[in-house]
């Protein structure tokens, strides 16, 4: 879990290698998305709600 820092989580959401739509509304009226990016050989996955320029993180974890 050493790659799971707030800086890396922000980077995954801002510059993802892969972005997927999740077919459900968010609590704030935005769209829920899943983002993936490889950082230092480890793939990080972040699920967040996006509405305009606002972002609410829901979960983040490393994929093995």
Banded model confidence at residue 1, pLDDT cuts 50, 70, 90: low
pLDDT in tens, 12-22: 999 999 999 99
How far apart are alpha carbons 16 and 61 in whole angstroms?
Answer: 14
Query: Tokens for 10?
Result: 């922000």
Examine the pLDDT at 64 and tell me if it is beyond 70. Answer: yes
For residues 25, 28, 29 and 33, what is the CA-based torsion angle, rounded to 10 degrees?
-50
Report the predicted TM-score, pTM, of the whole model to 2 decimal places.
Answer: 0.90
pLDDT score at 38: 95
List, in sequence order, every beta strand (DSSP E) within the chain.
Answer: 18-25, 31-39, 42-51, 54-63
């Amino acid at each position: 879990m050493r790659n799971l820092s707030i800086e890396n989580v922000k980077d995954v959401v801002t510059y993802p290698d892969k972005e997927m739509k999740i077919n459900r509304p968010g609590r704030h009226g935005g769209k829920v998305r899943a983002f993936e990016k490889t950082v230092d050989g480890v793939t990080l996955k972040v699920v967040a709600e996006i509405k305009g320029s606002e972002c609410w993180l829901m979960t983040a974890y490393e994929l093995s």
